[in-house]
Amino acid sequence: MSANVSPVSALDFEGEVVKSDKLVIVDFWAEWCGPCKMIAPLLDEVARELPDKVKIVKVNVDQEQELAQQYGIYSIPTLLFFKGGTVREQVVGSVPKKVLVEKINSQA
């Protein structure tokens, strides 16, 4: 994890994500997932470059299986974009940074 992207668990998910007053991207990932490792540096860059627009957190699906089930995560990486406590957008798989920035700007 980096200083810009923080892990969340079921215990702090509501406070960190659902009740956040800004856009939150939740990265559902796993240690063994190759595409998850590919998108991680992009998420870090986005978090560093757009701190006023977005907060990015990570949920390890191996450690937080109930949370992954609750949000219907079947493939990883899956990015859920939360705003106002609801999922506004979903991205499955590794995508270019440009796509992430466009989605963030359309939600902000």
Q: Catalytic residue numbers?
A: 33, 36
Q: What is the DSSP letter of 85?
A: T
Q: How many CB atoms lie within 10 A of CB 38?
A: 13
Residue (of 77, 67, 74, 81) closest to 26 by Cα position: 81
Tell me the three state secondary structure of residue 100. helix
DSSP codes, 50-108? -TTTEEEEEEETTT-HHHHHHTT--SSSEEEEEETTEEEEEEES---HHHHHHHHHHH-
